[in-house]
Chains A and B, each alone.
Chain A
Amino acid sequence: MNRIEETFRRLSSRGEKALVGFVTAGDPDPQRSLALCGALCEAGIDVLELGVPFSDPTADGPVIQRASARALAAGTDLAAVFELARTLRDRFPVPIVLFSYYNPLFAYGAAAFHRDALAAGADGVLVVDLPPEESAELTSGWPDGRLALIRLTTPTTPPERMAAIAASASGFIYHVSRLGVTGGRGPDLAGIERQVGTLRRFTSLPVCVGFGIAHPEEAAAVGRLADGVVVGSAFEKTIEAHGDDPHLPQRLGRQARALKEALPRR
């Protein structure tokens, strides 16, 4: 059983919901990024999503675009992301999902990526712009299911497509709560309830909901409808606003703790 499965099983048995925390790897620079990820892990996030910075993040809003630009300016490449994951893996048991656009992975090579991601202790990968129709070129040579392939569903995904996506997914399903890019306005609870309901007809995988969830009360509300919530831009906003604050890791940790504590429990 891999770490993602184990985590959701443990949470479920305790009646807890998962807090999935996203940060761009290498933002604002590799050194501080390690401290920030460490603070999130210590604060009790259940899954860490490490964003692989990309020059042209077409699915991201301005906050994560700027995070990506800062990380690239600090020299973050995939090797640096793996290095960060490896260091975190030595210290924390939290599952790590690499969140990327396809081109940096394509340039690195599918087989090399698989090998090095596993060696770094990563547990899954989510490729934003690689829909199921195109993903065989990345995953067909991967020998086993050790690296989970996290799939996205969205408010525009028709039921039959949800079924196909769910059938080829592993780890958990990341449901995008609303149209648009990352960050921005809050969640549409009625829409989420309906869409997650549809999704559950096709999968027993945990469903995590993200995009636009920033505050504890939003996390609490969405947490009632799903197995976990994903928070990304809200953390990146803190990093951007307090980049030079020596206590930024503590600040980020408090933010994560408040979100985790707001999540419903049985």
Chain B
Amino acid sequence: MNRSFVPASGSVPDERGRFGPFGGRYVAETLMPAVVELEAAFRRFAADPEFHRELDLLLRDFAGRPTPLLFAERLTAHAGGAAIYLKREDLAHTGAHKINNTVGQALLARRMGKRKLIAETGAGQHGVATATAAARFGMGCRIFMGVEDIRRQTPNVQRMRLLGAEVVPVASGSGTLKDAMNEAMRAWVEAVEDTFYVIGSVAGPHPYPLMVREFQTVIGREAREQILAAAGRLPDALIACVGGGSNAIGLFHPFLEEAVELIGVEAAGEGLESGRHAATLGRGTVGVLHGSKSYVLQTPAGQIREAHSVSAGLDYPGVGPEHAWLRETGRARYEAVTDAEALAAFRLLCRFEGILPALESAHAVAWALREAARRPRGEILVVNLSGRGDKDLAILAAHPEPQEEKTA
């Protein structure tokens, strides 16, 4: 399949990487030539049918695409309203949607002659997916991961090491995704001449938000065909969790021009009023973090606050600039789900559908249950089940099920 990644003129981002006032390129001078080179390479290969042929083969034979769209029959009956369909990114190779982007970027790195990959990771899914692509391409790989995330996502650390990657613990700050990204940027500055930085979300300096989006829209393109085949029409709403926002953008983007509601679900952590949350769009203000302008959780003086979520992949005080723009324009709305609601939804999906979702994805499931309940039968929701939850078993064990729910 030949398609152009580069959006038509007049669409976002513009040539400066701007989604309205958001996005841009706020990086140290050392990195500027690298991001300019990356953008040129991305645009060149995006227009190259051979690149797409290679990528499509990798997505099919290596990543296991297309992933199915499942009608969640018992979950739908439990919610008692709109039909819930699950886009099964948990069934992609490595167990999450992150692989779509990492094979794309690794392929690009190879075309650019870069033999070393570095990446940041939160839950470890992006780290595993990067290490996987590096192994497949015979590239060196270093993954930066916060010490707190290493503690709570041990299985993924083991997987990355098995795949031949070096996992570099990051102890600064809160030892989570933000700090891992700081350290990856520092490592990139040092090794920029031979190293490709594989950013895992639709964040970072231009062209990353554009590039990661384009590699992830395969989710939405497939979902669109699949729901048309299954239900004979487009859905009423799409629901996806948002940390940095890559799985959500990937699902949303092919539906932007359609009359389909877009709902992003952020992590409300211990509650929006507790101050311990990761609801960047819900409670943040405009600022500049990690190379782009978007919403961030920060003090009035512009110091970045630490986020909190039980889910390491959502535990980030920033968000991709395109989400800021979709919110600003009213095209998408953003809700938030607490740790407790996400844990409950995790258990519910296990029991009703036989699927262990990633805790990140469980946030989307939790909101979908509410959304389905207040919509009439006959309406259709597509939920992005962005990853599988095996990595989260230790967290589930540490948060035993509340007694009153056991009898439900």
Interface residues of A (CB under 8 A from B): 54-61, 65, 72, 77-78, 102-108, 128-131, 133-134, 151-158, 161, 165, 176, 179-181
Contacts and interface: CB of A to CB of B under 8 A. Distances in A.
21 contacts: A56-B182, A56-B304, A77-B301, A102-B288, A103-B288, A104-B303, A105-B302, A106-B288, A106-B302, A107-B300, A130-B26, A131-B25, A131-B26, A133-B32, A155-B30, A156-B34, A157-B29, A157-B32, A157-B33, A179-B192, A179-B193
Nearest to B293: A106
Contact of B27 (A54, A104, A129): A129
A237 to B, nearest CB: 17
B186 A61 contact: yes
Given A59-B189, A105-B302, A107-B302, A154 B287 contact: no
A107 B193 contact: no
A153 B33 CA distance: 11
Contacts of B291: 129
Interface in B25-64: 25-34
Given A105-B302, A161-B33, A179 B189 contact: yes
B288 A156 contact: no
A156 B191 contact: no
A157 B186 CA distance: 17
A155 B296 CA distance: 32
Which secondary structure characterizes the binding site on chain B?
Answer: mixed
Interface in B144-175: 172-173
B30 A131 contact: no
B379 interface: no
A59 B28 contact: yes
Nearest to A155: B30
Contacts of A154: 28-30
Interface of B: 16, 24-34, 172-173, 178, 182, 185-186, 189-193, 287-291, 296, 298, 300-304
Given A131-B25, A154-B29, A108 B190 contact: no
A157 B32 CA distance: 8
Contact of A176 (B27, B29, B178, B289): B29
B302 A108 contact: yes
Contacts of A181: 186, 189-190
A115 B329 CA distance: 33
A131 B296 CA distance: 21
Contact of B28 (A72, A129, A133): A129
B56 to A, nearest CB: 34
Nearest to B31: A156
Contacts of A77: 301
Contact of B186 (A58, A103, A104, A151): A58
B287 A107 contact: yes
Contacts of B26: 102, 129-131, 134
A156 B185 contact: no
B191 A179 contact: yes
A163 to B, nearest CB: 14
Contacts of A133: 16, 24-25, 32
A58 B296 CA distance: 16
B36 to A, nearest CB: 9
Nearest to B191: A179
Given A179-B30, A181-B186, A156 B193 contact: yes
Contacts of B288: 102-103, 106, 129
Contacts of A129: 26-28, 288, 291
A72 B189 contact: no
Given A56-B173, A103-B288, A157-B33, A179 B28 contact: no
B300 A131 contact: no
A106 B294 CA distance: 12
The 4 closest A-B pairs by CB, nearest first: A107-B302, A104-B302, A180-B190, A152-B29
Given A104-B302, A108-B302, A157-B33, A58 B25 contact: no
